[in-house]
Each structure stands twice: as structure tokens, then as C-alpha cells.
Amino acid sequence: MRVGVLTGGSDCPGLNAALRAIVRKGVQEYGDDFVGFRDGWRGVMRDETVTLDIPAVRGTLPRGGTILGSSRTNPFQEDEGADRVLGTLARHGVEGLIVIGGTATLGIAARFAEEHGVPLVGVPKTIDNDIPLTDYTVGFDTAVGVATETIDRLHTTAESHKRVLVVEVMGRSAGWIALHAGLAGGANCILIPEQPFSVGKVCEWVESRFRATYAPIVVIADSALPTPDEIALPGVTPLPGSESRFRLSGVGEWLGKEIERRTGKESRTTVLGYIQRGGSPSPFDRWLATRFGLHAIDAVHEGDWGSMTALRSTRITRVRLAEATASLKTVDPELYREASVFFG
Amino acid sequence: MRVGVLTGGSDCPGLNAALRAIVRKGVQEYGDDFVGFRDGWRGVMRDETVTLDIPAVRGTLPRGGTILGSSRTNPFQEDEGADRVLGTLARHGVEGLIVIGGTATLGIAARFAEEHGVPLVGVPKTIDNDIPLTDYTVGFDTAVGVATETIDRLHTTAESHKRVLVVEVMGRSAGWIALHAGLAGGANCILIPEQPFSVGKVCEWVESRFRATYAPIVVIADSALPTPDEIALPGVTPLPGSESRFRLSGVGEWLGKEIERRTGKESRTTVLGYIQRGGSPSPFDRWLATRFGLHAIDAVHEGDWGSMTALRSTRITRVRLAEATASLKTVDPELYREASVFFG
Amino acid sequence: MRVGVLTGGSDCPGLNAALRAIVRKGVQEYGDDFVGFRDGWRGVMRDETVTLDIPAVRGTLPRGGTILGSSRTNPFQEDEGADRVLGTLARHGVEGLIVIGGTATLGIAARFAEEHGVPLVGVPKTIDNDIPLTDYTVGFDTAVGVATETIDRLHTTAESHKRVLVVEVMGRSAGWIALHAGLAGGANCILIPEQPFSVGKVCEWVESRFRATYAPIVVIADSALPTPDEIALPGVTPLPGSESRFRLSGVGEWLGKEIERRTGKESRTTVLGYIQRGGSPSPFDRWLATRFGLHAIDAVHEGDWGSMTALRSTRITRVRLAEATASLKTVDPELYREASVFFG
Amino acid sequence: MRVGVLTGGSDCPGLNAALRAIVRKGVQEYGDDFVGFRDGWRGVMRDETVTLDIPAVRGTLPRGGTILGSSRTNPFQEDEGADRVLGTLARHGVEGLIVIGGTATLGIAARFAEEHGVPLVGVPKTIDNDIPLTDYTVGFDTAVGVATETIDRLHTTAESHKRVLVVEVMGRSAGWIALHAGLAGGANCILIPEQPFSVGKVCEWVESRFRATYAPIVVIADSALPTPDEIALPGVTPLPGSESRFRLSGVGEWLGKEIERRTGKESRTTVLGYIQRGGSPSPFDRWLATRFGLHAIDAVHEGDWGSMTALRSTRITRVRLAEATASLKTVDPELYREASVFFG
């Protein structure tokens, strides 16, 4: 069978592990041959391919990034984009397509499946972990690991200098990394987009922490926002970009300054940024990506089009792409409340 | 409420994280006070205690081991052991006991709950991951991480010298660490106690791997065994200890020598040993242990005696200790078959 | 003998290792007793002490930060600061003082030794490695490790997205971290304060790197500056703070934007910040700090006042504090030229 | 210029970093072309080559092992081995040869330089760090890092179970890894081949450590030996292989059992083995290997035949291969004595 593969959206650790599993099982058990599309949907649109066979995936299991390259191109927003995609798939005789991506990339896949009947299956990856119907997405565990290691490091400097340290982690629309890394790193409080925060409350936690002799570490998702009245407060001058209702660009830096202004405690902000999506995947992500890859090629051979591999407990299951891309998985308020016993 | 806590069995990363969560929530939300028993059931038997309050657990989240100490003592095998346990619990006015341990420690807990009506709840921990009814146990993810990192390191030396490298990992009666680390580390074959192996087949895999230009890494659980006819083979001289039907002491070393003898390829064995249970817990284990701790103290206050915290998907649930200690969770043959696409 | 100890300036990994060595050898071999001053010179000025004995230093070898705390307080800039320092030392009967710090803290020590005859010896620590007469300072190797690991992680994301990644590392007045981490991390170019850089040249390197199919990583010290004519360029709008002749605050962010503007290549900046000074010391830093500690207490007992421990090759030697704090050790142009073979 | 390169002896982290530096500078600054010999001296003897150009070394900086392969073959011990080496070099028109290796590989190089006038320069690598006239060899710092990390991990399990943990590290004829990792890891005692040890003394240290409430970790080089009278002791039954005067095979295991027998304390041995030479090189090793590579290609172009790159303080110098291979660099008794303050 002729199988196409692409990786789209922001890169994250584990993509190569998934590719390797797809190719190993496809070639060895099904006798497939593969065409790799370069840089996500863009490569399909432009008919740019990458060799994808067993030698190409050898030794890639522990490597971050993706040997196929990636992009955020959306063919539905390009001139005749969809037609060009269909043309490329036809030209290569692609009988099944595996799309590895986050919400946006998989959403495009869902449209191609539904509207154009493209025979495809999806594999969910994103460090943000915000895809529903799967316990975890590929890349999340590694990102949590990087963030936790950073928080571990910052504890000593917080202690030695009696400073507030604010750590801004990624999380475009969900606070999963903040929640997990904050819990694992022993943060003093965790601020996520699902729960608008009160700077006043954060300052109380900071001060109670100092009284308990420990210096506080505040973990904040880069999409977290203060409650609306806080933004409107006279003394508060949001950074440029805050006109957005959904995002206060540089929220970590802003919060650090607010804490310093209100409590008089020295405060420093560390923005984690791209480190969170780089480097070698954690064992969990390698295991998850490998299993997703093995099950995705099975789904291709079963013709289970429009499905997405998903983790439920310790089993790999399949869900509908359309459903998995219809909403975002955000942090359950109950989970957040559970974590709040460590705040302050 | 007066709550006793003990950690028993082999130590593993995450015990302190669980203790910290229990104490933080117990003190802050329920107003509990705690008595920590030293060195597992032995400390209860001998009435040896350790201070367990918020200052005692501060800063322990990232630390391996257990501030309570541990042992494998079984009071039911000691003179008046059970009575002495009951006496200590009465003397301290313990109204609820939290027992953190593996199969043996929790099995003792189950007996105390059933036969003596001790009000207790269990928390499952073991790097072996062999406790049923929970997706994972505390310590497993960290152990897999150590084993995977080791395999990553060995790849380069295998390549440079064209040698077979055998890595023996822990797994008293189940091959979970071998399976996960073998998959994540890109092993050439994975040998687990659930599936007696054929040395001949292993040698075939080793040789096919060499033909593909890569040097092979064989991951073997320390409780894996060759098929009975292999042990009885004329050329095969099992190490001392192999008279045991259940364990070939030094099986990794033995296998390395067999491979060398049969294939003529240089072979080296690395025995991972105690490194697997030491060091700082992984973020996943900190998160799991913390959540188990929070839910265990809830269970105590709900009087849900005889229960054990368990992970199902991303939720913490409760199962019956009696059921969770009645059998061991071994590797599903289907999972093993799934992994075998990478063998050879 | 009664020996005082303080750690001053920014915290860095290895301080506890030095304290432990001082105390172990002082107590065991010389029968000393110690007084630890809290938070650097501030604690001496205010007579705030911390217990410093063998139990206090137990288990601290692998821990970052400093159990004594630290500050940047300079008694010579405080009301009667020097007198209060002398008063505290007299009050505690301190017969020898060990000062662990960077240029500023040790410079204060040099003045107390010279102007007030305080019997003291210094131990050089700073992640910046800018103290002369010693091969390395405590903390440098760990900081290089953190920065290198980050660059390793960013390579994969640079590749996958064909982006320029700018990494801003610390280096108040010398480019040592940038040079070492840039070399070890395979950076495309390394920008240090000792060598004003041309943005045009950097863009040339970036473009030649893209032609060679690899995405570039630019490592820049946070004190690096473009050549004066670049700052004056019409299109160039330095961030607020650039009025300083010596520092362009946010130089990494600024450079990323300039590269993007000039080359049209997407560019992202990661600012490493406090992570570089936190966490467990590297083995090299533990070894160096331990040996510095052992030799410092020897120097105290030999009455070698005004000396500083120093590393020369593999030997610990002693140099004069006055000389070691009279200038900063910057990167030799020859070393920089040597590294430049990898630029572009 | 036509330059040959080989890597010989046991593989270690940093070899690829050296190769990359040699090729980058050779091609870019000198216009050299390279011939890589496969598997050390064996490849020269057999005329087996590997492509060695800029694409071949791309991305190899952080990779362990060697893209050239390695072996311990000694042409002087093979039939017409030397002549075949000379023939290959002539056939490829090699005008300069760079030999990267340990004592054995470099010793062969020294003979070819002296006896046959082969124009060559050496680069010292070995995790054992036992080559004289250089502060450090490539690979040593990484090996110390692995060993230290292991000791860090074992501390928690030693504590939790009140056990003696013996860690056997590599060190064919010198105790450098044991000394550095033992110091950095906070070992209770360090046993090296340069100093025959008394089991009785070790047991005293072990017992005094237990009294101080900490569980002991004993670090032992795999070539360390007890004093002769200990071996002859009635109760002592050395493992097979101990008839060698220079090595007690499995000395760590043996010592663990002796400690257990004499002190009654449970004891466990961990043998580090090949992990120490695998994996990604530390930043220090990448820096050292890179600089050695850059200076080696300079030496080739200066015709400084028979020289070896060496580290002295922070400078790369050159020494004579003949001298550097005439003896082994062992641990100075004074250094050992310095470390002994932490014993017991």
C-alpha cells in the first residue's frame, strides 16, 4: 500500500519516534511504501517530498524535532490549496495518509476527510495536551519534564536570595503544562488560563510563603490572565498586546513587576519558551509516540478513515478526528482545586 | 484526626512526594496530626516513630528515598508481630493508617484490614509496576527513565565497537520496566519473565541486526528465563542459583556469554541494579505520588477502609486492597507482540 | 580556632560543597569551630548568624544555592558599615574569616584585609568566570552545562521550523559562558562583550548557514553590544535602556528582531536567565568547590591572610586577593578567533 | 593537503567532536581533504576507509561514539602489519595522519613516527585520564559525570534501607574516575589501584558512618586491590581471576560480600561498566575535544610530527607522543590524602 505521512504545527519531541514506528511496521508487516511530505500540509500543497524508509528513520527514536520538517500552513487558506493537496495525493497514488499534528493540523485533516473523502488517520501531538478524547498527546510529558527541571533549578536561587521567582511556561489555551510542572516542581501557586487570577491573592500567597521561611515560585501559563477588574486597576499598566481579550503578552514579566510593586519583594521572571519543545523525547513520549505510530498504520490498513489514535488508560484506542478537533481539552476545575492545597 | 503513615518494601522515587501531599492536605484541610512509623511495618511492630509534620516534609518533593525509612519486615512472620502492631496503633491512638508500599507491604495491610479491622488505606508504589487495578505505580516512570537513559548511552558504544550489549533491568516477576525501557530505548529485543525466550531466536535477531549495520542491544528483565529446553541444552551451564525454577541469577551475564559463544560476536552485559530505584522522581512520579497522597488522606476522612488509591486514565480512583494484592499484574501478551515489530 | 564563613553575591552551584569541605576539614583535622554569617556581608554587618557545623552541612554537597544565604550588600556603602563588621567579628572572637564570593564580595574582602587587617582568605565563585589568576571559578562549569543543554534542545526546533534561534546567556562583563556553551552546543555564531559585533556579519552567517541546509543558532552574552555604528543605524531602534554605553538591555530580543527584519527569516529569542545559576552543581564544580574549601581552611591555619584559592592546571594554588580583584578576566581575542572557524 | 584520521581503542564521548573540529578547520582554513580510516589501526592495515568531509561530521558534536568506528588492533602484532599500514598510507597519498586514542593507540603511533617516519600527530582520549603531560583526556569528564550521577542516585536507597552500597567504576590502571566521582558524589571512602586498601579499615569507615546516622557508599576502581595480606587472609576467598597480581576481577562484588561478612551490615554492589563510556559528551569534553581537534590540524600544517595535543591550565599545548606514552599518569598520593578527610 502507498502511504503518505506528514507532521504539522509546532514541532515537539516524539515526532520521529512516531514516524519510525509507522515505517518499521508498515514496511515489515504490511509491505507498504511511504511518501513523506515536507513541512506539513505545505509540502502536500507544493508536492515536496522527503524519502521515508527504514534507513531514513534509523537512529531517530531519541531525536527531537521531525525529519519531515513542519509548518503551520493551512491549505484551506491558500489559493486552490485544497485542490493542490488533492492533486499531489493523486499524483503519488497515496492510498492512505497519516497526519501527525495538533489541533490545527488535525482540524485540516478532519476537513479533508469529511469534505473531500481523503483516506486519512490522525495522530495527536502537542506539548499543550489540549486535544480531547486522549489522556495525553505526544510531546506533553517531555515539556513537563523540561519545565519541572527548570523549577527545580530555580528553587535554590529563590532560597538563597529570598526572591519571588515567576516562571512562565507554554500553554496556548490550556494550563496543562503549568498544572503538571507546577505540581511536580513544588510551585507556590499555579496560574492557568482556565482560571482568571487575582494578583492580590497571588501576593497573599507570596507573603505567606515568605513567612513560612521559604521563597515562593509562581508558575504561570503564558495565556493566563488576571481577572478583568485587575487589568482595569489604576496602578496596573498591562504590557503592549494586552488589548487582546485572550492574551496578555509577557504576562509573566508583568506579574513579576506587579508582585514586586505590591509586596516590595524582589521578583524575577524566567520565560521558558522554545526549550519546552526541543530535545530528546522522554521515555513516556517515546513509548506513546511509538504506540500511536504502530496503531496508526494498523488503522490505515483497516481503512478506519477519519479516526485518530488516542490513549485511554494504558490502551491505544481510536476516536473520531472530527470530534477530537471540535473543541479543546482544558483543565478541569476540580483538578485545579485539588492542586490548590499547595498554594501559599 | 490522628493518622499514622508508613512506607514499606524496597524504596523508590516518589515516596516523599506522597508523604508531603498527605501531610500538607491533612494538616491544612483536615487539621490532622500525624505519626510516622520508622522503616515500614517494623517500626509499627517496635513502636519506633519519626516526626511527620509540615516542616518535616518541606523540600522533600524532589528527593528520592523516604524520610520514614523502609524495611521488608512482615509482622505476621514475627513473634506476636500482629499483636505488637495493634498495640502500637492503639497506644498512639491511630484512627487511620496510610500504608505506602508494594505487593508485600500492601498484602500485609490487607490482612490487618480484613482480619483485625485496622482502619487503613493503601497507596501502591513499586518500580516493578506489577500491582493490578492501577495503570501505574509510584516509582515505575522514574525507573523506566533511568533504564532508558542507560540504553541511550550504550548505543554509541555498541556502534563503535560492533558489540552486542545486554542490559539487565529489574522486574521481580513482571517485565514492565524491560518492555517500556526497551521500547523507548530502541532495543533489538526485549526479554521478559512472562515469555520464556529462545537463545537461538535471540541470536538470530542479533545477527540480522548486525547485517543491517547496527549493533544490537538486548534488554532483559532479571527474572526472564530461557525456555526449559534451552536450560537443559548440553552446552549451557547455568550460573549457580539456576536450580530455582523461577529465576536464573545473573541471567543477563549468562545470556551475554551464550550469545558470544553461539554467534562469535563480542558481547558485554550491564546490570542496572539499584540505580533504578534511586534519585529524584520523574515529574510523572511526583504528580502521581502527590495525587495518590491527596486522595489517600481523603479516603481516610471518608473512612473508606481497605481501599487503595489507583490511577485509571487521568483520574485517581479507589480499588479494594484485597483485590489489588491478590495477584500480580503481568505484561499482556498482546502488548509484547506489539513491541516485537522492533525485534531483530 | 574560631573561623567565620560567609557567601556573598549572586548564588551559584557549588557554594554548599565549599562550605561542607571547610567544615569537615576544619572540625576533623583542626578542631575548629565555626560561625556562619547570614546573607553575605550583610549578616556580618548586622550580626546575623547561622549554625555551621558537621550536621548542618550533611547532605548539602549536591545541593545548589547556599545554606548561609547571600546578598550583595557592601558594608563600605552603609552607615558605619565597616565598623559594624569589625565589631561583629570581634564579638564572635573570629580568628580567621573565609569569604566565598565573586569580584564584588571578594573586593570588599580585599579592602577589609588591607585597610583593617581582618585575617581572611577568599574563595572565588561566579558563573561568569571573570576572576583573574584562576583557571575557573566555582559555578562556571554548571552554568555552561545548563546553557549547552538548552542549545542542544533548541537545535531540533530550529531544524524543524527553519528558524533562527537566538539564545541569550549570562555574562555581566565577560563572554565566558557564551564562548564555552556556544562551542559545546555547536552555535553558528557567538557574540561576546569583548568583541562588538556587526549585525550585518551575523546576518551573513545566518544566511550562509541556511544555504548549508542547517538552521542557525546564535549565542549571545547579555552584555554583548553591536558596534557603535550599528546602534546609530537609521533602521535600528534599540530597546529602552540602550542609552547605557555598556549594556543593551534585552540585546538578544533586539538582535532576533534585527535578524528577522534584515534577512526575512523567522527568528525567536530564548533568554536563559536564572536557570543558569540554579540546581545541582556539576561534578567538576563539586570537585573544585570541595578542593577550594579544603585549601581555604589550610590557608586560615597557615595565617596566609589576604590570599585567595585558585586553580592552576590541576593544582590548587594561592594568589593575592588584591590582585585577583583588581581587574576582570575577559576572553582572550585569540580564543575567540579560534572558535570563529565554526561561525557561519 | 591530504590528511588521514583514525580513532582507536575503547570508544569514549568526544571523539566525534574532535573529528568535526579537524574537518571543519582543515577544509575551511587549509583546503585539506580527508581520508577516514575505519576501526582504528585495523582500517589502516586493511585499507578500509570512511568518508570524512563536512557533511559527514554535521550534527555529530553531541553524539557519543565515533563515526569512524574503533578497535584495539595493534599492527605491530599482526603479520606484516606495519608494512601494510605504510602501504595504505602511501596508496592514499596521506601527507599527515591524526591519531586519536589512548595509551595503546598512541603508543603505536609513537612507534610509527619514530621507527618509520610516519608524519603524524596524536590526540589523547580515554575515560581513564591516565595519559601524562595533559591535565585531562577527552572522555574523562563525561565518565566522571555518569559515575557521579549514579552515586547521587544510590544515596537515597542507601539511606532508606541502611545498607552499604559499593560502586565499582572503571579505571584500568589509575583511580582518576573513582577519585573525582567519589569526591563529587560524597562517597564514604574511595579505593584506587594506586593505594592498596585494607578491608578492615574500610569496615571501620563503614561502621563509623552508620553511627553518624548516614548509610555509607564505597567507591572502588575496578583495578583496586586489597593489601597482599588481606588477600591471603583465611576467611578471604578471592573470585576466580585474582591469581593475577594486578587485578581482582569483580573486586566490587567481592568487597561488598567481605563488608557484609565482617560488619553484618547488608551490602549491595553496583558495577557501572560501559555506561561510563557512552552517551553524549559533557560540555567540557566537547570543548576539550573541539580544541584538541583544531590544534591537531594546526600541528599537521606546521609539520610538528610526533607531537600530541595537551591541555595545560586553559591552554592547548603540544608535548612529545613518545614521552606521553612512556608511562601512565596515576593519582598523586597527596591528592588522595587530601580526599581522605571525607572517609569514614
β-pairing, A120-124 with A96-101?
Answer: parallel
Contact B153 D159 (CB under 8 A): no
Q: Hey, what's the cell of B8?
A: 514499606
Q: Which residues of B291-307 are buried (b: 16+ CB within 10 A; e: fewer)?
A: bbbbbbbbbbbeebbbb
Question: CA-CA distance, A283 to B184, in Å (whole number)?
Answer: 5
Give the integer Cα–Cα distance in Å for C172 and C193. Answer: 9
- Alpha carbon C237 to its chain centroid, in Å, reads 30
Contact list, B187 vs chain A (CB under 8 Å): none
Contact A40, A11 (CB under 8 A): no
pLDDT at D244 over 80: no
Pairwise CB contact (< 8 Å): D273 & B273: no
Question: Inter-chain contact B183–A290, Cβ cutoff 8 Å?
Answer: yes
Cβ-Cβ contacts under 8 Å, C279 against chain A: 149, 152-153, 156
ipTM of the complex: 0.94
* CA B328 to chain CA centroid, nearest Å: 12
What are the distances in angstroms from CA A331 to CA A180, A193, B288, D168, D257? 11, 9, 17, 47, 53
Inter-chain CB proximity B283 and A135 less than 8 Å: no
Asked whether residue D245 carries a pLDDT value surpassing 50, the answer given is: no
pLDDT attached to residue C274: 87
D93: left (phi over 0), alpha (psi -120 to 50) or beta: left
Residues D88 and D75 sit within 8 Å (Cβ to Cβ): no
Average pLDDT across chain D, whole number:
93
Of all residues in chain C, the percent with pLDDT exceeding 70 is 95
Q: Could you tell me the pLDDT band of residue B18, with boundaries at 50, 70 and 90?
A: very high
- Chain D CB contacts of B150 below 8 Å: 275
The catalytic position among C32, C128, C130, C304 is C128
Option in D65, D152, D279 nearest B279 (CB): D152
The answer to whether the Cβ–Cβ distance between C70 and A161 falls below 8 Å is yes
Would the annotation count C185 as a binding residue? no
Q: Do A270 and C275 touch (CB under 8 A)?
A: yes
Residues C110-137 have pLDDT tens digits of 999 999 999 999 999 999 999 999 999 9
Residues of D classed as catalytic: 128
Alpha carbons D250 and B250: distance in angstroms, whole number? 14
Three cell numbers, residue D142: 563525561
Q: How far does the CA of residue D12 sit from the closest CA of chain B (Å)? A: 8
How does DSSP assign C204-233, residue by residue?
HHHHHHHHTT---EEEEETT--B-HHHHT-
Give the model confidence (pLDDT) of D8-34 as tens digits. Answer: 999 899 999 999 999 999 999 999 999
pLDDT of residue D247: 60
Residue type present at position D331: V
> Cβ neighbours of residue C100 under 8 Å, at least 6 residues apart?
C5, C6, C7, C8, C15, C18, C19, C122, C123, C125, C138
Contact yes or no for D36/D51 (Cβ under 8 A): yes
Q: Is B274 annotated as a binding residue?
A: yes
Contact C41, C1 (CB under 8 A): no
- Which listed residue (B32, B128, B130, B285) is catalytic? B128
The answer to whether residue C241 scores a pLDDT higher than 70 is no
Q: Which of A21, A152, A313 comes nearest B312 by C-beta? A: A313
State which H helix or E strand residue A330 sits in. Answer: none
Q: In whole angstroms, what is the distance from residue C259 CA to residue C23 CA?
A: 51
Among D66, D146, D150, the residue with its CB nearest the CB of B160 is D66
Tell me how far the alpha carbon of residue D273 is from its chain's centroid: 12
On the question of pLDDT at C228 being above 90, the answer is no
Q: Which of A62, A152, A290 lies at the smallest CB-CB distance from B152? A: A62
Residue of B nearest to D272 (CA): B270
Provide, as residue numbers in chain C, all residues whose Cβ is less than 8 Å from the Cβ of A149: 279
Residue B164: strand pairing partners:
B267
The answer to whether residues C61 and D155 touch, using CB atoms and an 8 Å cutoff, is: no
Q: What is the pLDDT of residue D242?
A: 47
Is B268 one of the annotated binding-site residues? yes
- Chain A, nearest residue to B28 by Cα: A341
pLDDT, tens digit (0-9, with 9 covering 90-100), for B122-157: 999 999 999 999 999 999 999 999 999 999 999 887
Higher pLDDT, D134 or B212: D134
pLDDT of amino acid C245: 44
Chain A residue with the nearest C-alpha to that of B334:
A315
Q: CA D16 to CA D63: how far, in whole Å?
A: 7
- Encode pLDDT of B215-274 as tens digits: 899 999 999 999 887 776 665 555 555 444 446 778 999 999 999 999 999 999 999 988
Query: Cell 532479571 belongs to which residue?
Result: B222
**Chain-chain contact of D165 with B271 (C-beta, under 8 angstroms):** no
The string of DSSP codes covering D94-125 is: -SEEEEEE-HHHHHHHHHHHHHH---EEEEEB
- Give me the amino acid identity at D83: D
- Closest by Cβ to A283, choosing from B58, B135, B184: B184
Distance CA D143, CA D15 (A): 14
Set of chain C residues whose Cβ sits within 8 Å of the Cβ of D338: 291, 294
Residue with cell string 595509551:
D103
Choose from B275, B277, B285 for mutation: most chain D CBs within 10 A.
Answer: B275
> Tell me: the pLDDT tens digits for D317-336?
999 999 999 999 999 999 99
Name subunits touching C (3+ CB pairs < 8 A): A, D
Rounded CA-CA distance B45/A253 in Å is 54
Strand ranges of the sheet holding B267-271, from the earlier edge strand across to the other edge: B189-191, B217-221, B164-169, B267-271
Amino acid present at C42: R
Q: Which residues contact D17 (CB under 8 A, 6 or more apart)?
A: D60, D61, D138, D281, D285, D286, D289, D290, D293
Of A63, A152, A165, the CB nearest to C279: A152
Local confidence band at D234 (pLDDT 50, 70, 90 cut-offs):
low
User: Which residues on chain A are in Cβ contact (under 8 Å) with B209?
Assistant: none
Yes or no: say if C170 and C127 are a contact pair by the CB < 8 Å rule.
yes
pLDDT at C278: 87
Q: What is the DSSP letter of C138?
A: B
Q: What is the pTM of this model?
A: 0.93
Are A183 and B290 in contact (CB < 8 Å)? Answer: yes
Contacts of B290 in chain A (CB under 8 A): 183-184
Q: Annotation-wise, does C145 bind a ligand?
A: no
The cell numbers describing D340, all together, are 581522605
Q: What average pLDDT does this structure show over C296-324?
A: 98
Residue-level pLDDT at D66: 94
Cell 553496583 belongs to: D270
Cross-chain Cβ contact D145/C282 below 8 Å: yes
% residues pLDDT > 90 (chain C): 85
pLDDT higher for A38 or C156?
A38
Q: What is the per-residue pLDDT across D86-117, written as a single tens digit (0 to 9) for each?
A: 999 999 999 999 999 999 999 999 999 999 99
pLDDT at residue D243, rounded to an integer: 47
A128, A130, A285, A298: the catalytic one is A128
Question: Per-10-residue mean pLDDT for chain A, 344 residues long?
Answer: 96 96 98 97 97 95 93 95 97 98 97 98 98 98 97 86 92 95 96 96 94 88 89 60 58 94 94 90 98 98 98 98 97 96 92
The reply to whether residue A156 touches residue C11, judged by beta carbons under 8 angstroms, is yes
Residues with Cβ within 8 Å of residue A340, at least 6 apart in sequence: none
CA distance B125 to chain D (A): 15
Measured CA to CA, the distance from residue C251 to residue C228 in angstroms comes to 14
Active site residue B135: no
- In the predicted structure, residue D276 carries a pLDDT above the cut 60: yes
Say what the alpha-carbon torsion angle A54, A59, A62, A67 is, to the nearest 10 degrees.
Answer: -60
